[in-house]
């Protein structure tokens, strides 16, 4: 197994890793704020919103992400009448699927984080004359982020690996190129290289998130 071979197949695999990373960043940047928004909307006094959000989270957590991706990429166009308008670019459709799924998980994580905050925090802020917006942005949310950071970290790393599901909807990413090389060259090496690339990504991510965690210890 020559170094030359490794370098040769690493080229396309790095191209694939770009897609993996692009997907990861788009999804994380949209789904975390969206998850927060869903959590806050879920506290609305308007019951239909709450029911809708509960149903949405139930579906997202209760069905396989792979099924959701297949529906968005290949299922929607098959719906009678409106299906013809729902033919999305596969990458876009897959990203929407990831965002909807991960936002639901983040929403549940944040909901748990809010439950962990002592009632006295709201009370102290209110008694000090802060309005609802100030209480939320200055007192409650910063503490919620701290409480949920380990779970968010966990979920973020899971997302890196879940991007491999793009393979199933035929969006060429890291795993796709590895699999192609394995089939073509009849060697296991590309799989190892793919594994190493995932490990590199998660290593950098873990390091980065750990640093944030250390920063917000408040000690």
Partner 1 sequence: MEILRVTNVKKSFDGEPIIKGIRFAVQKNEVVALIGPSGSGKSTILRSLVHLETIDDGEIYIDGEYLVKNGIYNKPKEIRQIQRKLGMVFQHFNLFPHLTVKENLELAPKLAKLDSEEAISERCVQLLEKVGLQNRLDAYPSKLSGGQKQRVAIARALMMQPKLMLFDEPTSALDPELTGEVLTVMKDLAKEQMTMLVVTHEMAFAKEVADRVIFMDQGEIVEEGTPEELFENPKHERTKAFLKRY
Give least dist CB 58 to partner 1, A. 32
Among 4, 129, 186, 207, binds partner 1 (CB under 8 A): 129
DSSP code string of 149-179: HHHHHHHHHHHHHHGGGGGGGT---HHHHHH
How many residues sit close enough to partner 1 to count as binding (CB under 8 A)? Answer: 21
**Residue indicated by tokens 């006094």:** 45
- Give the residue from 179, 174, 155, 157 showing the smallest Cα distance to 20: 174
Question: Are 106 and 40 a contacting pair, CB within 8 Å?
Answer: no
**Separation of CA 60 from chain center:** 12
- The answer to whether 214 contacts partner 1 (rule: CB under 8 A) is no
116 is a site residue for partner 1 (CB under 8 A): no
Query: Binding to partner 1 by residue 128, rule CB under 8 A?
Result: yes
Query: Is 136 an interacting residue with respect to partner 1 (CB under 8 A)?
Result: no
Told to check if 142 binds partner 1 by CB under 8 A, we report yes
Decide if residue 69 touches partner 1 (CB under 8 A): no
164 interacts with partner 1 by CB under 8 A: no
* Cα–Cα distance, 42 to 51 (Å, whole number): 8
Q: Is 2 in the site for partner 1 (CB under 8 A)?
A: no
| C-beta closer to partner 1: residue 4 or 219 | 219
Is 124 near partner 1 (CB under 8 A)? Answer: yes
Closer of 6 and 130 to partner 1 (Cβ): 130
Compute the least distance from the CB of residue 140 to partner 1, in Å: 10
- DSSP SS3 for 4: helix
Q: Does 168 bind partner 1 (CB under 8 A)?
A: no
CB of 145 to partner 1, least distance (A): 9
User: What's the closest the beta carbon of residue 44 comes to partner 1, in angstroms?
Assistant: 19
In angstroms, the Cα distances linking 160 to 11, 18, 201, 206, 213 are 20, 12, 8, 11, 19
What is the secondary structure of 82-147 as a DSSP string?
Answer: GGGG----HHHHHHHHHHHHHHHHHHHHHHHHHHTS-HHHHHHHHHTT--HHHIIIIIIHHHHHHH
Positions touching partner 1 (CB under 8 A) are 118, 120-121, 123-131, 134, 138-139, 142-143, 146, 216, 218-219
């Amino acid at each position: 197994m020559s170094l030359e071979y490794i370098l040769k197949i690493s080229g396309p695999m790095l191209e694939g890793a770009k897609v993996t990373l692009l997907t990861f960043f788009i999804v994380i940047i949209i789904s975390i704020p969206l998850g927060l928004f869903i959590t806050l909307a879920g506290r609305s006094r308007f019951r239909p919103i709450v029911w809708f959000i509960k149903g949405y989270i139930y579906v997202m957590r209760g069905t396989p992400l792979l099924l959701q991706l297949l529906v968005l990429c290949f299922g929607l166009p098959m719906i009678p009448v409106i299906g013809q308008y729902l033919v999305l670019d596969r990458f876009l459709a897959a990203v929407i699927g990831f965002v909807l799924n991960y936002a639901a998980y983040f929403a549940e994580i944040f909901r748990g984080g809010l439950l962990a905050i002592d009632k006295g925090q709201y009370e102290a802020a209110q008694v000090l004359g802060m309005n609802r917006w100030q209480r939320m942005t200055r007192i409650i949310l910063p503490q919620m982020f701290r409480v949920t950071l380990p779970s968010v970290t966990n979920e973020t790393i899971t997302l890196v690996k879940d991007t491999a599901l793009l393979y199933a909807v035929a969006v060429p990413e890291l795993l796709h190129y590895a699999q192609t090389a394995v089939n073509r060259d009849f060697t296991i090496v590309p799989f190892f290289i793919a594994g190493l690339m995932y490990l590199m990504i998660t290593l950098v991510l873990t390091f980065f998130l750990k640093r944030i965690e250390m920063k917000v210890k408040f000690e």
